[in-house]
Amino acid sequence: MADKPRRPRAETPKGFRDYFGAEVTERKAMLDRIAGVYHRYGFDPLETSAVETVEALGKFLPDVDRPNEGVFAWQDEDADWLALRYDLTAPLARVAAQYRNDLPSPYRRYAMGPVWRNEKPGPGRFRQFYQCDADTVGSASVAADAEICAMLADALEEVGIPRGDYVVKVNNRKVLNGVMEVAGLAGDDKDAERGIVLRAIDKIDRLGPEGVRALLGEGRKDDSGDFTKGAGLSPDQAEVVMGFTTAKRDTGAATVARLRELVGTSVVGTEGIDELEGIAALLEAQGYGPDRIVLDPGVVRGLGYYTGPVYEAELTFEILDEKGRKRQFGSVAGGGRYDGLVKRFTGQDVPATGVSIGVDRLLAALRAKGRVGGDVAGPVVVTVMDRDRMADYMGMVGDLRQAGIRAEVYLGNPKNFGNQLKYADKRASPVAVIQGGDEAQKGTVILKDLILGAKIAESATLEEWKDRPAQVEVPRANLVAAVLKMLDQ
């Protein structure tokens, strides 16, 4: 006898998750507020395909130890390799090159949507997540970088992160390149070492100075026993790099002075410091002081395509981790200048700068602050007392919807009235509408305030239900006005 076909397992793939009701609503509301800030700054929305050619995406992900450099890729029938986008910046570079004759220059755009990374999943680390980006393509001015930093600060405040609970940190890759030069890491033959150094410094918040120092040297073994190969720097070289990570001083001017000491006579390093000073001056002129935006050499960003200023938004308030320990919430957004990305397509220099907000991280922060995550009211539920009068009930729900009230008719088996009430409870319904035969004859409806009323008992009969407090009987003609009044209360 042939084996029965095996049923598929009803489970989410590893590293992915499902989002329900309130989570989706909260995310959309937050993205709408961020989009309002971007729109106010003159940025236009853009939606690109979730799929790009592997060639167009390029190899920029820091996770190089996995197949296809950390992307989900497959070979198309015409032999082209395609992949799910790993961020929203690489697709923008392709769009800027493809439509360069039609788009204004500079081109200012924002984009929101899911991205996919073929990375090792872990707690809070998913293979699909939302990003929310804003970029300016075609301007070499540091004013474009300063504007992105100001806009990021405004967006965080707009969604409910108060001033004092966040800081936007700004640095410049050119400064780090100058430090690398001083440490003897200049030249194309040192690309691999520089990449490891970048990724090591980017983890300083998580690993601490000793962990970073280990990655600058021979390597580091983590708690699980996995060994990560280091950059192989000598102790003297590592000391120069570590000096860069601790160069932050109490004021921007003092930080700049310390960085000038570190880069010495490096031309690229000096250029980077001049750009940092320019950004700071432009932000100060707009009223963005160190209470919101600071210079911080500890920010490097792990992605390989950044060429100049880089920035990161960090939330500074404390939360309790899964073991009950206090810790700062950490980074929720980052970005920088990537002047070489469009050039890959056109062969011509096209300067660009932009920021990406980690949507799920920011939502988690807002929940931790109590800004979102409250009970979301469900729809008003019109119960069905007589299935032959479904048209009457549909008429009621139609009137409520016309008035802008979220409402639905109970579409399950109406036989057991208690089940209808349990359904309304599960839907977090604020109001139930009831019309039995008696009410229909009188031309009235009963409105039950489910928020004020007691929890619905499993065995509640219609008579018990009517006897409870927090309900009113109103003329059918007054249904909409009475429901609105109840919802307002």
**CATH code at position 403:** 3.40.50.800
Strand partners for 112: 132
Q: Are residues 341 and 287 in the same domain?
A: yes
Residue 351 lies in a domain: yes
Domain boundary among 368, 389, 406: 368
Given a cut of 80, is residue 464 above it in pLDDT?
A: no
Q: Are residues 333 and 384 in the same domain?
A: no
Q: Are residues 395 and 362 in the same domain?
A: no
Residue 375: the pLDDT is: 61
Contacts 24+ apart (CB under 8 A), 471-476: 471/446, 471/447, 472/446, 472/447, 473/439, 473/444, 473/445, 473/446, 473/447, 474/444, 474/445, 474/447, 475/443, 475/444, 476/396, 476/435, 476/443, 476/444, 476/445
Q: What is the sign of the dihedral through the CA atoms of 279, 300, 134 and 337? A: positive
Residue 458: the pLDDT is: 47
- R_g of the chain, CA atoms, integer Å: 29
Residue 232: the pLDDT is: 81
Nearest to residue 301, comparing CAs of 256, 323, 331, 343?
A: 331
Position 381 confidence tier, pLDDT thresholds 50, 70, 90: very high
- In percent, the amount of the chain with pLDDT more than 70 equals 92
pLDDT digits (tens, 9 = 90+) for 25-39: 999 999 999 999 999
Mean pLDDT of 183-191: 76
Residue 67: the pLDDT is: 46
Residue 195 lies in a domain: yes
pLDDT digits (tens, 9 = 90+) for 407-433: 999 999 988 898 998 999 899 899 999
Strands 309-320 and 166-172: antiparallel
Residue 2 lies in a domain: no
The domain total for the chain is 2
Residue 312: the pLDDT is: 94
Q: Are residues 328 and 452 in the same domain?
A: no
Nearest to residue 363, comparing CAs of 130, 154, 206?
A: 130
Q: Are residues 198 and 308 in the same domain?
A: yes
Strand 471-475: give its sheet, edge to edge: 407-409, 380-382, 431-434, 444-449, 471-475
Residue 10: the pLDDT is: 94
Nearest to residue 238, comparing CAs of 272, 214, 208?
A: 214
Q: Are residues 392 and 335 in the same domain?
A: no
Distance CA 383, CA 408 (A): 9
Q: Are residues 143 and 228 in the same domain?
A: yes
Count of all residues that appear for the chain in the document: 489
CB 190 within 8 A of CB 231: no
Q: Are residues 180 and 222 in the same domain?
A: yes
Residue 456: the pLDDT is: 43
* CATH, residue 138: 3.30.930.10
Between residues 268 and 464, which one has the greater pLDDT?
268
Domain boundary among 368, 403, 431: 368
Q: Are residues 85 and 110 in the same domain?
A: yes
pLDDT digits (tens, 9 = 90+) for 90-124: 999 999 999 999 999 999 999 999 999 988 877 77
Between residues 245 and 68, which one has the greater pLDDT?
245
Domain boundary among 341, 368, 395: 368
H-helix or E-strand containing 282? helix 267-285
- CA angle (172 as vertex; 171, 174 as ends), nearest 5: 155
Distance CA 65, CA 55 (A): 19
Tokens 């500079």, residue?
Answer: 106
Residue 69: the pLDDT is: 66
Residue 373 lies in a domain: no
Range of the domain at 478: 380-488
Position 457 confidence tier, pLDDT thresholds 50, 70, 90: very low
Q: Are residues 356 and 398 in the same domain?
A: no
Q: Are residues 477 and 337 in the same domain?
A: no
